[in-house]
Structure 1
């Protein structure tokens, strides 16, 4: 798992760096990190080596960790702070489905909070109330908020109306091979010229 995670990070960083070289300098990258990877004693060293090898500025990298890393909050804070010292952004992925409490969330030096898609898909009053509460809390803590699993126009409208910063999901795009992503970026770039 750790070696696969390293390969994924290295490949993604290389591909984004190549897009930067091809004229798309503002593209950022978010990569999921497993708990096993995060806890590996060589994790920080590996991330730093990947950035050096790929020549990717850490500004363009965000690492997504799950709430389960809070099981050892002190160690997690140390690791996160070292990643942030490199210039990397940190996001809590699938927020609301794991171990977090408000006191833990307040302690973690994170940048972004990704609202789990199960909350976004809820179309009842309770689901909407939970999303509104998470958004308001996240904004008050100065997190960038990402609504995950956005598939429908109504979800986009709801997220915008409640001041969620970013939407992610099939409504915007399905996962794409890098060649297809580059093609779409070129088409969009040509459109705005």
Structure 2
């Protein structure tokens, strides 16, 4: 498996002859796209009640993924490609472990949290953004392909578990708590 992962890494990683624009785009994708995705979800939540629910699910999912990735990295610190002298590392990462990819896991967690929406277009767009972020991490030489694949799989499991186990019950409890207050407000108003 490690040979396949290394071979795929060598195939995707930007070589010395990569055009400068591709390196700049990959850095943009790696550094700013996760933030832009989060901002888009937050802005949408300001205008759409269903997106508020998805935004809460995304926030909890990203926090859970962050904890799980950091725990896993401390227990089993698998190194990044640069540690093995593979490819070119186009952005500094130091000697931190890289499995699974936190960028990929966090971005995919936010994207998968949109599956609860009635329309699939926002989730598909967010998944496309997450895929570009995952690609950029390998292209820049920061992760092996397996790092980002496992990050995406972890994110999917966490986002679904959070939505089913935390967001939905919390949402139902909040509605039950708010229902008598809304009735009382309506009774006073009219």
Q: TM-score, normalised by structure 2?
A: 0.29
* Larger fraction in helix: 2
Say which one has the larger Rg. Answer: 2
